[in-house]
Structure 1
Amino acid sequence: MMNLAVFASGTGSNFDAIIQAIEEGKLDAQVSLLVCDRVGASVIEKAQRHSVDTVVFTPKVYENKAAYERALLEDCRTRNIDYIILAGYMRLIGPTLLEPYQNRILNIHPSLLPAFPGKDAIGQAFEKKVKITGVTVHFVDDGMDTGPIIDQEAVRIEDTDTEEDVKRKIQAVEHRLYPKVIQSLLVKEESL
């Protein structure tokens, strides 16, 4: 069974979706580690409820990004982590993690990349008045939301939708799509 580390910075709705997919037998993996870079983030409590080992790092206490990522890498190696799953983790990943986990770090983004990368993708979509946005799952590289796309799903923005409406629609897609994509990658790897 594959060991996953989920990196998150906020509420952890995608963390919950991954745990639920595992409990329902839709995802054949286990979350062995939660990494959070924000003390007091809601996702920490969610991980504790599910007895998931949790480490909370404050990046500012490290000499530099490489030192911070070396500490993360050590925690991942100690737990034999196979894949790193970014779920609202608001930091760019550097070479210290990218090299040992090449094509094993996934991210989910609330737009149809390459449109609206970075922060506030839903707000960007509203500002541009697009009618279609969506969700993208991609491998992580050294850019911001620039890694190879694994899967995408469109979400329609209706004239009557508020940003909150679109956020709910996107999260519903994320919570279904992310575990499905992770499972498909694990099945593909196990068949090799």
Structure 2
Amino acid sequence: MSKHILGILCSGRGSNMQSIMAAIESGQIKAEIGIVLTDKPEARALQVASEAGIKSVCVNRKACASQQEFEEKLVAELKAANVTLVVLAGFMRILSPYFVDAYRHQILNIHPSLLPSFGGAHAHRDVLAYGTKVSGCTIHFVDEGMDHGPIILQDTVPVLDGDTEETLAARVLEKEHILYPRAIELFVDGRLELLDDRHVRIKE
């Protein structure tokens, strides 16, 4: 079986991307990163990838006439890099059915809450506002819904008295940096089995 090639999509600093890079370097993930794509020219992930010798490209959404044009450019870059797994790592764009169809069951996302609770862009704020005692993070396959696809892995953190969005986010991020490489490892090792559109089994 040929080696998996990851395409990582980021919108910001790329901290989860860096944890994935470290897991590849250590041999935990037996794959390579073929390309890093961002939608923002100022994204620090571009610099991080470039310094690591990884091809990095900005497909600026603002320079595209439509969502379709934007996603066609993303898919073209991924296909040109022979990507076999798309990894969304802080990519702050909702993807259309066109993109999902291009990589069906080959797109992973990380979300900073215990889905299906507190989806959307303000998970930590919403967790604190609701008074939840436990939060965490979720790795899932991407489908047409927002923060909706079949769940692969989850881990928890306590919500502490006096927590702010920043302190909660920092604790959740520590878990993200462990959990995301683990989920990618399971995928590239062929240990994830989709039982239906909701359930994922991890094979021994």
Global fold match (TM > 0.5): yes
Correspondence for 1:97: 99
Q: Deviations over 1:57-95 (max 9, x none)?
A: 111222211111111111111110001000000001112
Q: What are structure 2's unaligned runs of at least 5 residues?
A: 193-202
SS at match of 2:157: strand
Correspondence for 2:80: 78
Q: In structure 2, which of residues 13, 18, 21 is the aligned counterpart of residue 19 of structure 1?
A: 21
Question: Is the 2:8–2:87 contact (alpha carbons within 8 Å) kept by the matching residues of 1?
Answer: yes
1:109 equivalenced with 2:111 (yes/no): yes
Q: What are structure 1's unaligned runs of at least 5 residues?
A: none
One-letter code aligned to 1:51: G
Correspondence for 2:164: 162
TM-score (norm 1): 0.95
CA RMSD, 1 decimal: 1.5
- Count the aligned residue pairs: 191
Indicate the percent of aligned positions where both proteins have the same amino acid: 35
Q: In structure 2, which of residues 171, 178, 181 is the aligned counterpart of residue 179 of structure 1?
A: 181
SS at match of 1:170: helix
SS at match of 2:190: helix
TM-score (norm 2): 0.90
Correspondence for 2:40: 38
- The correspondence of residues 129-140 of structure 1 with structure 2, limited to 5 A, is 129-140=131-142
SS at match of 1:188: coil
Correspondence for 2:200: none
Correspondence for 1:64: 66
Correspondence for 1:144: 146
SS at match of 1:34: strand
Quote the Cα distance in structure 2 between the aligned partners of 1:59 and 1:71.
10
Question: Is the 2:34–2:83 contact (alpha carbons within 8 Å) kept by the matching residues of 1?
Answer: yes
Q: How many angstroms does 1:51 deviate by?
A: 0.9
SS at match of 1:99: helix
SS at match of 1:70: helix
Q: In structure 1, which of residues 29, 51, 54 is the aligned counterpart of residue 53 of structure 2?
A: 51
